[in-house]
Chains A and B, each alone.
Chain A
Amino acid sequence: MHKTASPGTVSFFGTCLADAAFPGAGMAAIRILEHLGLDVVYPLEQGCCGQPAYNSGFPGEARKVALRQIEAFAGQSGPIVVPSGSCAGMLKLHYPKLFEGHPRYFEVLAFSGRVFEFFDFIGRELGACFEDRGPSVTVAWHSSCHAMRETGSTQAAKAILRGLANVELKEITREYECCGFGGTFSVKRPEVSAAMVRDKVADIAATGASMVLSADCGCLLNITGAAAKMGQSFTGMHLAEFLWGRIHA
C-alpha cells in the first residue's frame, strides 16, 4: 500500500482535540496547506498522539497508541504537519524517548523525523506570507509551552501573525508562563491548574484584545472555558482558523 508521495504532498495529523472540539481549526489548517499548493492527505486511522498516557505514568499505553499513529501514517513518506506544538513535540521529540531500546525504534525515528508543527512548516519550511483581507482587529497571542520550548515554533507563528497588515498584536505579560492546562494535569491538580488559568485569563483580559489566538487547542479549551466561567468577553481561536479567515475573506 506504500505510495510514493509527490514532493507537494503532506500528511495531516489533526490531533484528537481538534477532531472532537475544534474541527474548524483542523479544516482551516488543511485549507491553508492547499492554498499554498500542497496536496493534503488525512489518514483516517489516526487518533491521539499518546501524550496524556505518557505524561500520566502509563508509557505502555502511550506506546500502544503511538504505534497506531505510526502505522496510520506509513502510507505516505512526506512531511507530517501538526496544528499543535504540544502534539508535534510529542511525535517529534518524545516518541524516540518512548521507544528507546524498542524493536521498532528506527521505524519510530523515521516517523518522528517527518513531523513538523504547522506554523513552523508553513513559515520556516515554506517561507509563506499572506495577504490580509480582513478588517482591523486587536488580538492577543498565547503560546503553548511546548510550542515555545519543544518545537520552538512560536517564533514562526508570531511572525506570520505580525505579517498580517490589519491585525494589531497585543503582548501578554508573562507570556512565558503556562496556562495551567497540561493535559491530565488540569483534572489531576485542578486547584493549581485553576489558579494558573485564572491568572492567564486576567493577563489576556488586561491587554484589551477582543480575541486570544493560539496554535494549541488544549490551551484554547482551557483558556476560553475559564474566561467564560469568569465572565470575560474575549473569545479564543486557533491561529490557523483565524489566518484562513483573513486570507480567504
Chain B
Amino acid sequence: MHNDPHFDFTASLEKALADPQLGENFKNAMTGLRGKRLAIFPDADELAKLRATGKAVKARALSKLPELLVRLEANCVKNGIRVHWAQTGEEANAMILDILRAHGATRLVKGKSMASEETGLNHYLEKHDVEALETDLGEFIIQLDGETPSHIIVPAVHKNKKQVAETFHRHLPGAPYTEDVQELNAMARKTLREKFRTAHAGLSGVNFAVAETGTLVLVENEGNGRMCTHVPPVHIALMGIDKVVENLSDLPPLLRLLTGSATGQLMTTYLNCITSPRREGEKDGPKEVHLVLLDNGRTRLFADPQLSAGLRCIRCGACMNNCPVYVRVGGHAYGSVYPGPIGSVLTPQFEGIDAKGDLAGASSLCGACEEVCPVLIPLAEHLRRIRAEGQGCPDTCHVRGCGSKRTLAETLAWKAWAFLESNPWLRERLLRLAGLLGDRIPAVGPLKAWTSARTTPKLAPKSLRQLVREEGIRHE
C-alpha cells in the first residue's frame, strides 16, 4: 500500500468516499475519540499549560538531539541493552533479522510499532521465513486480513464488529461467527496467549526513551506490549530517533498529553519502563534487549528550522480524530504509514514531494488539527510550506522533490491573479464582463469542480466598489 510510486491520491479518496460503511465507521469512532479527549481536559488553562510544557520538553530534547542520543546509547549499553543504529528502513530490517537469526528465532510476537510499519518489517521477515505476529488487538485483526493500520492508535477502526466477526470466523481455526465484542476479544486472547508463551522473540516500539537513565518507556492498555517485552528470551525495541527525551522528570506532562489526546485516558493501563535485560538473580524478563535507533528521513527533517517541529510529534492521533478530511476518508486513503494532518506533513518529507506531495492538499486548512496538537506543532503552517515546496518556491526549497508539483498553467494563473488583485480597476471591469456573460461561461477547470456539488456562483449585478461610489461612502 505505501511506498507505491504510482499512488493515485484522487482515486484513493474517491474510493474511500464511495464506501458509506467506511465513512460511518470512521465518523462514529472519531466523534467518540474527540469527545473523550474533550472530557479528559476540562480545564482550558491547565491544558494550555500542559501543551506549552509538552512542547518545551520535546523542543528541548530536539535541541540537543545528537547529545541525547549518545547519552541514551551510553546508558543503555551500561545497563546491558545492545544499541544499533539504522539509517534506513532496509538497514533496520536487516539488523532485526540478524538478531533473530543469531538466536535461531523464527517466531516473533510484535507489540504496536509504527516505526516497523515504516520499515515494512512484517513483510520483510515473512520473506525471510520468520513469522511476525501482531498482537495488539487492532493490529491482529488487520494482519489477518492482510491490511495496514488505518489509524495510528486504533488501527482497525475502519472495521465494525460485523466485519471483525467475519475476519475472525474466516481466519481463526474453529472460530464461530459472533458479533459480541467480549467474545471476539476472548478469541484473540486465547489465540495469542499461546503465541506469547512460545515465541522466540518479541518486538516493540518505544513511546519515549529516557537518555538520563537509558530507559525505554512504553504505554499500552492491553498487556500485549508487556507480553512481547517480558516473556520471550529476546526483546527488540525499534524507535525513531525523535523519541528520546532528556530526563525521567520530562515524562509526566508528555504522558498526560499522550494518553489524554489519544484516547481520553488519564493514564493507560500499563506504563512499562524497561532499563535492562534480565539481571543476575532475576527469574524472568528477556535475556537480551536490543534497541534499534531508526533515522529513516528524520535527520533530513531535523535540518529544516521550520519543519523540524514535526519531530515533536508524540503520535497521539488527535490531529486525525479532529480532521474533517481524515474523518471522512479514513487512514488507508492517504496511502502512507502516517495518515491525517501529521501524515500529510511528514510523509512528503520522508518519501518526497514528487511521490506524496499531494497529501498536503488534503486539508481545508481549517486549523482543527493545530487546535488539538498536544505539542503545538503548527500543522496548517507546515501544510502550507509543503504546498509551497511542491511549487518549488525559491525562498523555501528544501524538501526532497521540491518543485515537482509545479505546472505552467497554475503558475501563470497565479501570476495573472496577482496582477488582477493588484489592479482593482481592471478586476472590476473583468468582473462586470463575467457578470454579463453569466451562465454562458463554460464550466471547465475550477468552475467544473465547484459545480460538481454546488450551483454556479452568481456575481452580484453591482460590486461593492460600485455601491460604495454610488452611495457616497468615503473612498480615496
Q: Which residues of A contact B (CB under 8 A)?
A: 12, 14, 16, 18-24, 26-27, 30, 39-48, 50, 52-61, 64-65, 68, 75, 97, 145-146, 149-150, 176-178, 180-199, 221-222, 225-226, 228-229
Contact = CB atoms under 8 A, between A and B. Distances in A.
Given A20-B463, A47-B422, A229-B454, A58 B393 contact: yes
A contact patch SS: helix
The 3 closest A-B pairs by CB, nearest first: A182-B364, A225-B454, A57-B387
B30 to A, nearest CB: 11
A44 B393 contact: no
B475 A43 contact: yes
A21 B457 contact: yes
Given A21-B457, A186-B364, A191-B17, 15 more contacts: A14-B468, A21-B459, A41-B473, A44-B469, A46-B424, A58-B391, A59-B396, A61-B418, A149-B366, A187-B449, A192-B328, A192-B362, A196-B328, A222-B454, A225-B454
Contact of A48 (B328, B421, B454, B473): B421
Interface in B60-113: none
A75 B417 contact: no
- Counting chain B residues whose Cβ lies within 8 A of the other chain, the interface size class is 35 or more
A114 to B, nearest CB: 16
A21 B387 contact: no
Contacts of A182: 363-366
A229 B364 contact: no
A61 B417 contact: yes
Interface of B: 10, 13-14, 17, 23, 324-325, 328-329, 361-368, 370-371, 381, 384, 387-391, 393-396, 405, 414-415, 417-418, 420-422, 424, 427, 431, 445-447, 449-460, 462-469, 471, 473-476
A41 B424 contact: no
A59 B208 CA distance: 37
A122 B438 CA distance: 36
Contacts of A56: 387, 391, 414
13 contacts: A41-B476, A50-B421, A53-B417, A54-B384, A55-B387, A57-B389, A59-B388, A65-B417, A65-B421, A65-B422, A68-B422, A186-B364, A225-B455
A22 B457 CA distance: 11
Contacts of A40: 473-474
A23 B430 CA distance: 16
B145 to A, nearest CB: 25
A66 to B, nearest CB: 10
A195 B15 CA distance: 13
A55 B361 CA distance: 9
Contacts of A189: 13, 325, 361-362
Nearest to A64: B418
A39 B473 CA distance: 9
B464 A228 contact: no
A65 B476 CA distance: 19
Nearest to A68: B422
Contact of B13 (A184, A191, A226, A228): A191
Given A44-B475, A193-B364, A225-B455, A19 B463 contact: yes
A197 B451 CA distance: 12
A22 B459 CA distance: 8
